[in-house]
A and B are shown apart, each in its own frame.
Chain A
């Protein structure tokens, strides 16, 4: 029998007592490293000799004029930047520098217009030229013609994946949008009549505040950026369709209509009757566009004049004051009291870090403020949090409850990947709330895997790929566990995963029932074939019963409580993924 066969056999449900104990012929690091190496190496071989080489050799040809034009633009901007820096340094001190930096985007955009005529001719023949052509005097780039031809690939109706393959940036609160964008964003002083507020999206430094027409059929979007807007041919406007306007004291431009294309067309055509109105202006180094879509009755009152008035309201630059909930002093007191009741030393980490001063001096444990920078990529968040979090021991993390901002969600997910949520018993969620604050209990520990392959598929198609205990368990200490799940197809049904530590022929010593990722990675959110790691901790009692313990893993339908059976395990209802023996001294093996 091969090794897999042996492993499968000793994992049959209810096999406790057959004497198979935890044993690793290779260290977890070695196994993990070997897997990664195999995958990398395998693909490297493939890329050299196999069909992958055919793929890799199908690079698109490069348009050299574009390549050279872009290179020249980069050199020109770099040179201008150096020159500007020198001039600023030569004029005065910090205030001037700061001012210059604030004006930098506009200077940069103007650069494209100030280059020599010969170079401009080259630049304007390229798409880059259109990007740089966003001068201070024109807010809309002028379309030279009322139609432009489509490429062949544009003349076919895109398949379903073409328009839905990428998700838009998520809607977040204004405070979160400000944090992500890194500048103070402006919003209307109140929600305009006929609209309801949706939220804001941040993408590539551009913030869009969105309102939806009540009853649907229209929307209002306020877009702002410190670096100007990308000007594609689709954004261009014929000169005759542009109306110069005053937004307060500022110059702006208003455009009615849009380039549209219908099925079967070979050109995009300017349509002045499309109910899309755009107004652009700039103030204090920020570029604004307010766009009204649709003409349903609820928002029909918002004509060009009123839209301009609305814009002037934004122009007053009402700063967004939405810095999260204020925490009542009694809430802080209750939380501090609860933390101080804990006899075991621990680190208390708090996110956002702004709340740390409220808790400082009130607790007897170490306090760590958690902060992340603008980069919301998981690796960046993991690095930021990882630098602050302790490497071992108990960690209590305090979060703002119900914060649905993108940053908060990602911080939560990152915590679940870096730490092990501590479940103290049946019904424990590993968390408790104090007013607007939530306390989560974790155990820190290195994230390296010590998992053995399991490869058991449940009747709902979910596979337990690997699982096991992380580190060396000790009586009285938290037992850290990790499971890795995968499903070939999307999972439609929500599942709750249980882990039972059963000793001495049937005594339930520790238990944890939770949605994978402690609620952060529900099965319905998994990508097909994505491996999802679910890690947590359960405390072991000091007086573990002598004998054999087994770690049982299973899952059930959260709604009906019905268990999903592991296939090929004769109705056991669970998979035993690890066995321990407890010696009379209480040691586990």
Chain B
């Protein structure tokens, strides 16, 4: 979607929310990927994705278009805040569980049960491969520090530039670049340790 096209849809959606569906179509893959990487359970992630888009549509009138990336930054800030809130609530549950059940440990309370029926757009074997790749990469990313995890997911799955990530995370742009470089380096090292033959040596990360 071209920036001017996006701007036009935003303006339309302010008067007629039905135009928001174009923005949804465009941003769904990025928001979906970002949230799936940041939240443990698929169902919890889907809850959050739904809330993000519904909230964005309801509040589109409060959004002010400033430049071509401002809408993406705004949308991802909603997603980021919602995920922060998700962890806050989950932590609250864990604290209660721990306090009330000494000697036990609540595990991943924020997610919900087994996945419902799914219908992947890919062929089953492709979906399986994609799922495995995703799970492997997710496990690797979860070994990073929280800050680097956030930067990596916003960059690679949210598709944001360092400047937008800096705005969302309230950090300096160069700090973001540093987290990105070091996060990638760590990921590559750990990935190489798992699959040494698939890694091509690179000079600078």
Chain A 204-223 interface 0/1 with B at a Cβ cutoff of 8 Å (1 = within): 10100000000001000000
CB-based contact A234/B110 at 8 Å: yes
Judge if A163 is at the interface, Cβ distance under 8 Å: yes
CB-based contact A71/B205 at 8 Å: no
Chain A 254-282 interface 0/1 with B at a Cβ cutoff of 8 Å (1 = within): 00001011110000100000111000000
- When chains A and B are docked, how far (Å) is the Cα of A217 from the Cα of B99? 8
- When chains A and B are docked, how far (Å) is the Cα of A46 from the Cα of B19? 36
Checking B116, B146, B161 against A40 with a beta-carbon cut-off of 8 angstroms, the contacting residue is B161
CB-based contact A70/B49 at 8 Å: yes
Checking A62, A149, A263 against B107 with a beta-carbon cut-off of 8 angstroms, the contacting residue is A263
Judge if B83 is at the interface, Cβ distance under 8 Å: yes
B204 surroundings in chain A (CB, below 8 A): 42
CB-based contact A60/B37 at 8 Å: yes
Checking B33, B100, B113, B168 against A274 with a beta-carbon cut-off of 8 angstroms, the contacting residue is B100
The smallest beta-carbon distance between A81 and chain B, in angstroms, is: 5
Chain A 119-162 interface 0/1 with B at a Cβ cutoff of 8 Å (1 = within): 00000011110110000000000000000111101111110011
Total A-B residue pairs with C-beta atoms closer than 8 Å?
A: 284
CB-based contact A151/B174 at 8 Å: no
The smallest beta-carbon distance between A310 and chain B, in angstroms, is: 20
CB-based contact B130/A61 at 8 Å: yes
Question: Which residues of chain A (489-520) have a CB below 8 Å from chain B?
Answer: none
A532 surroundings in chain B (CB, below 8 A): 172
Chain B 157-179 interface 0/1 with A at a Cβ cutoff of 8 Å (1 = within): 10001110001101111110111
The smallest beta-carbon distance between B32 and chain A, in angstroms, is: 6
The smallest beta-carbon distance between B110 and chain A, in angstroms, is: 7
The smallest beta-carbon distance between B170 and chain A, in angstroms, is: 5
The smallest beta-carbon distance between B30 and chain A, in angstroms, is: 9
CB-based contact B171/A530 at 8 Å: yes
CB-based contact B84/A166 at 8 Å: yes
The smallest beta-carbon distance between B107 and chain A, in angstroms, is: 5
Judge if A203 is at the interface, Cβ distance under 8 Å: yes
A91 surroundings in chain B (CB, below 8 A): none
- When chains A and B are docked, how far (Å) is the Cα of A263 from the Cα of B104? 6
The smallest beta-carbon distance between A32 and chain B, in angstroms, is: 10
CB-based contact A54/B191 at 8 Å: yes
Judge if B117 is at the interface, Cβ distance under 8 Å: yes
- When chains A and B are docked, how far (Å) is the Cα of A148 from the Cα of B120? 24
Checking A151, A166, A268 against B115 with a beta-carbon cut-off of 8 angstroms, the contacting residue is A151
B113 surroundings in chain A (CB, below 8 A): 148-151, 233, 268
CB-based contact B44/A203 at 8 Å: no
Closest to B150 in A: A165
Question: Which residues of chain A (160-181) have a CB below 8 Å from chain B?
Answer: 161-169
Q: Known contacts being A148-B112, A168-B88, is A161 close to B146, with CB within 8 Å?
A: yes
CB-based contact A50/B17 at 8 Å: no
Judge if A82 is at the interface, Cβ distance under 8 Å: yes
Question: Which residues of chain A (375-399) have a CB below 8 Å from chain B?
Answer: 377-379
17 of the cross-chain contacts (CB-CB < 8 Å) are: A43-B155, A43-B181, A51-B199, A58-B133, A60-B36, A126-B116, A162-B108, A163-B91, A166-B87, A168-B92, A201-B88, A204-B82, A260-B101, A260-B106, A261-B106, A262-B104, A378-B170
Could you tell me which A residues sit within 8 Å of B by CB distance?
35-36, 39-40, 42-43, 46-47, 50-52, 54-67, 70-71, 73-75, 77-79, 81-82, 108, 125-128, 130-131, 148-151, 153-158, 161-169, 201, 203-204, 206, 217, 230, 232-234, 258, 260-263, 268, 274-276, 293-294, 377-379, 527-533
Could you tell me which B residues sit within 8 Å of A by CB distance?
16-18, 20-21, 24-25, 28-29, 32-33, 36-37, 40-44, 46-47, 49-51, 53-55, 57-58, 77, 81-88, 90-94, 96-97, 99-101, 104-122, 127, 130-131, 133-134, 136-138, 142, 145-147, 149, 152, 155-157, 161-163, 167-168, 170-175, 177-182, 184, 187-188, 191, 199-200, 202, 204-205
Given A234-B112, A274-B100, 9 new contacts (CB under 8 A): A57-B133, A58-B137, A58-B138, A71-B21, A74-B54, A78-B57, A163-B94, A377-B77, A531-B175
